[in-house]
Structure 1
């Protein structure tokens, strides 16, 4: 973890612990400072070296916080944070993963019941102790108990958005290492799953020892777990990285094998067996004239394996994209020459779900427009939160101010060579109503309707009713899930897809790495039903526009082509969809 990331994480921890201690105002100040530091684009190490005054020039970083940043850089500690940790010796991250448990709840549970970790929390809930606390009750206790199992399992997996940049950095580093001929990520990370276990990297080289030495020397390596001649494991930024080394001529077969999924590989091997071939990590082997095909790993004539495409070509199949390798019909589709032409990152032309500092965003309207134009977008929709339950921090734009803001957006747009749509992210109430007045919705270009509260149980009827509202254009982050934090609503994907196709509403793939909602499976259902999807970032700052890559690859996991995606269209095409 870099100093920049480490400092931001420490400030966020302070914010949570201060809130646990029921301190007002300061928690939000620390969170804003953490966001500002995390978004800083220059050399943060050089900035800190200039001293507290220089750090204090950052937005939302005052004298008190800047002095703590320098204190941490110089000593590795923040005295006030150490005192807060002593005051609340709790497994903060684990407890906050439980849906319904926020920092204040953590403080109350510790002060009243001595709860320090998930095991304590579960014991207190099973003993019916939580319901006796002021402001809780049986329903809260029941919800906490139901979500503990999810919190335990969630802590075992890493977000795609955290793992992929680290893996990309390692791949770039190893690519420049002289003994390495080939290098690529593998496993679920290469299939772009929303969460992963470990980071798997495959290297093709004739000098495995040198490749493993290079991994040891990588500046991202925090400690070495194990190292041999063909594989090694290190810890980097809290994540386990597994490196496997193969000879260059077997790189393609190994890459196919170690990308998975297991279900895809089993189906592909069975497909090969029916055609007299044997597939494994060492290659594709013709075993039609072999008496005992199972006698060894390299039995028979090797007919493929130097590159990955050859493994499929040996079976008269086109290369199946990694995102599709989940045994969901991709092999029969490939055999029938019916693989989709999956949407690509550079085909997304705009973002239809973004926020500014008028609600809970971090930057002004002008800054977001400039950021979108600089990113290369042709258009952007500004869709700040309306007021309503579940809005983070309770910060939403009241109905009477939304039209005023729309005028501001139109005025700001005149200064940029980019099409700008006015809009709102309206809340979907528990009974499927839209939280913004119809007269206001009618004056806006884009209406994103999203669930933000009551995010448990079956939400199908509620979401379908929301899509039936004539003003709704996009159903935002439909399940409301937060990866590793809450599972979100249960939905009938087919019913959702049919309603979206019928009502002309786009189902959003929210590219925020904490959401990736919808996921690949429901996206495929939507595509099969003829529904349109929108790949949006839900950007709250300009640095989040780059998250679109995670949404694109999620769309690819759902077999989506460019024609299935609303914002691969030009601005006029989007207007036509929006009626």
Structure 2
């Protein structure tokens, strides 16, 4: 397992602590290095073993940072980071996890009130102490107090995008073990929920000891929590991973049971009972001739259990895709032969929301287009930020710069093997206005309109705002509609159905933003949107070539929303897409 994410997290902490201490410029250097270390294709530990010069092959990593990387792998710590922790002994990750509390705020509250933990922050807000600090006030204090509760809930669950790569590493490890005949994740991560409590891994094997030994001996493990004959739990990269080993004849039953959800399984058990069957983690059993079906877990004649398909077939049902197993009508649809033909990764023909170094992306249009071509896409849109609310530091393009980019992209398009669309990510003002001029918007191939600021509006105002935005004649896609950041920011609380109905009326697609920090819309609202007649766009919001791969998260989120290819505009042929775009 690569340790890139681990090292990147250290430099992100470095940046936060420097900023909290009032240091300027340097924190951004460390954040850029952290991003590039996380995204780098080679394991950072291998680069460090070859020497600091090899580490410096990573973009944005110079002598100072490469020396710290090598130091970390040689000594297990970075002395300068340890000093920063000692100078300001705050739980920087927990505190900055509260919306509205950035590193500078952490530094101010430490210097003035001595706040070091989430508990102390909450207590100070409840006591009315924060409002007395210069630059703060009652409203800021009130927001911090309410956001602390959100942050506490977020601490209990990891983002899918943080846990899934870790799960993939475990799957690769165990699938390479001769003793393991079948290996799969279960639980909420298999259902592709946007957050997970822990990673559940299920293995079919006749040699459980060998599997458990390989699992607990994995070099990615930081702590072995427990280890037994058929189960083990470890912690890796801050995430708990639970292993369960079952005999092959019961693997399908266990996989179905531990995938869940609980409500889905309860619905299936009720179907089984009506058929004189008993369904559990060991199989499906015919108990029609059993006096007491509750006498044990394996009573009666086993009629299914080796495969998941057999478990559903025993109930005269087709296999229900894991993403649908939330008791939102999937069992009824399966019984009626009416399950949707869900979107697959191969159905996606292009990406309609991406960025380049013309705004806040890291790479040139040529590099991003090449990455899209490598994915086999038919079309690809560059949609850099326009100026407007929420855009700081000169990130967005004004009208003249957008026209300049049009000329530049024509040259890129001439050499491209796909259809290059020129678009923009325009900002939605607090009242639903689009600051970019109508003349420029009319010249573009695709207009993504997204909220980036004023994300604390009341539900009615937020809904009215988005409805007004989709009514704009140039808007094609409503980008990340709520503006949420998973575990960091709740975003807008909107009436999805009302927004979707307006979008359907005006031929605007609602986005499933595939960035695992967003997944916005997520599954339930996406299902509501499709039911209301709206089209969906599964985009990545990519800022680097590798983040085009985020589409996997968007596809599975779309599947959780019951989306079929016909519902997703970037699964359409180019001619159909162009007919849809304004």
TM-score (norm 2): 0.97
Aligned counterparts of 1:448 and 1:424: Cα–Cα separation in 2:
6
Residue in 2 aligned with 1:478?
481
Residue in 2 aligned with 1:54?
54
Residue in 2 aligned with 1:276?
276
Q: Of residues 486, 489, 493 in structure 2, which corresponds to 1:490? A: 493
Residue 71 of structure 2 is aligned to residue 68 of structure 1: no
Contact 2:2–2:43 (8 Å) recurs in 1? no
Q: Of residues 543, 562, 566 in structure 2, which corresponds to 1:563? A: 566
Aligned counterparts of 2:292 and 2:85: Cα–Cα separation in 1:
63
Pairing 1:385-424 to 2, within 5 Å after superposition: 385-391=385-391, 393=393, 395-424=395-424
Aligned counterparts of 1:41 and 1:333: Cα–Cα separation in 2:
43
Contact 1:3–1:73 (8 Å) recurs in 2? no
Contact 2:3–2:43 (8 Å) recurs in 1? no
Mark the runs of 5 or more structure 1 residues left unpaired by the alignment.
Answer: none
Pick closer, same or farther for the CA change 1:393–1:187 going to 2, 3 Å: farther
Residue in 2 aligned with 1:81?
81
SS at match of 2:512: strand
The count of residues paired between Structure 1 and Structure 2 equals 579
Residue in 2 aligned with 1:533?
536
Residue 426 of structure 2 is aligned to residue 426 of structure 1: yes
Aligned counterparts of 2:354 and 2:422: Cα–Cα separation in 1:
11
Cα deviation code 1:485-540 (max 9, x no counterpart): 01111011211211111111000000001100101101111111221000001001
Residue in 2 aligned with 1:449?
449
Aligned counterparts of 2:46 and 2:225: Cα–Cα separation in 1:
31
* Residue 423 of structure 1: how far off its partner (Å): 0.8
Aligned counterparts of 1:393 and 1:52: Cα–Cα separation in 2:
32
Contact 1:388–1:394 (8 Å) recurs in 2? no
Aligned counterparts of 2:573 and 2:369: Cα–Cα separation in 1:
17
Q: Of residues 508, 516, 526 in structure 2, which corresponds to 1:523? A: 526
Contact 2:389–2:428 (8 Å) recurs in 1? no
* Residue 69 of structure 1: how far off its partner (Å): 2.4
SS at match of 1:414: helix
* Residue 110 of structure 1: how far off its partner (Å): 0.8
Aligned counterparts of 1:45 and 1:170: Cα–Cα separation in 2:
18
* Residue 389 of structure 1: how far off its partner (Å): 2.5
Aligned counterparts of 1:36 and 1:332: Cα–Cα separation in 2:
47
Pick closer, same or farther for the CA change 1:362–1:433 going to 2, 3 Å: same
Aligned counterparts of 1:469 and 1:487: Cα–Cα separation in 2:
26
Residue 510 of structure 2 is aligned to residue 507 of structure 1: yes
Aligned counterparts of 1:539 and 1:392: Cα–Cα separation in 2:
19
Residue 39 of structure 2 is aligned to residue 39 of structure 1: yes
Residue 212 of structure 2 is aligned to residue 212 of structure 1: yes
* Residue 392 of structure 1: how far off its partner (Å): 6.2
* Residue 52 of structure 1: how far off its partner (Å): 2.9
Residue in 2 aligned with 1:551?
554
* Residue 453 of structure 1: how far off its partner (Å): 0.8
Pairing 1:137-286 to 2, within 5 Å after superposition: 137-286=137-286
Aligned counterparts of 2:245 and 2:41: Cα–Cα separation in 1:
35
Mark the runs of 5 or more structure 2 residues left unpaired by the alignment.
Answer: none
* Residue 277 of structure 1: how far off its partner (Å): 1.2
* Residue 54 of structure 1: how far off its partner (Å): 3.4
TM-score (norm 1): 0.97
Cα deviation code 1:403-441 (max 9, x no counterpart): 111221121122221111101111111111112111111
Aligned counterparts of 1:268 and 1:391: Cα–Cα separation in 2:
49
SS at match of 1:255: helix
Residue in 2 aligned with 1:353?
353
Aligned counterparts of 1:54 and 1:190: Cα–Cα separation in 2:
37
SS at match of 2:82: helix
Aligned counterparts of 2:286 and 2:23: Cα–Cα separation in 1:
70
Aligned counterparts of 2:539 and 2:392: Cα–Cα separation in 1:
19
Residue in 1 aligned with 2:109?
109
Contact 1:181–1:203 (8 Å) recurs in 2? yes
* Residue 223 of structure 1: how far off its partner (Å): 2.4
SS at match of 2:278: strand
Aligned counterparts of 2:17 and 2:43: Cα–Cα separation in 1:
28
> 519-528 vs 452-461, which deviates more?
452-461
Residue in 2 aligned with 1:28?
28
* Residue 393 of structure 1: how far off its partner (Å): 5.0
Aligned counterparts of 2:529 and 2:137: Cα–Cα separation in 1:
40
Contact 1:360–1:392 (8 Å) recurs in 2? no
* Residue 43 of structure 1: how far off its partner (Å): 4.5
Flag as ranges the 4+ runs of structure 1 deviating above 6 A.
none
Q: CA RMSD in A?
A: 1.4
Pick closer, same or farther for the CA change 1:393–1:34 going to 2, 3 Å: farther
Contact 1:223–1:234 (8 Å) recurs in 2? yes
Aligned counterparts of 2:350 and 2:286: Cα–Cα separation in 1:
48
> 302-311 vs 69-78, which deviates more?
69-78
SS at match of 2:111: helix
Aligned counterparts of 2:395 and 2:121: Cα–Cα separation in 1:
31
Cα deviation code 1:458-486 (max 9, x no counterpart): 22111111000011100001111101101
Cα deviation code 1:140-179 (max 9, x no counterpart): 1111111111101101111111111211221222122112
Aligned counterparts of 1:52 and 1:310: Cα–Cα separation in 2:
55
Aligned counterparts of 2:387 and 2:495: Cα–Cα separation in 1:
28
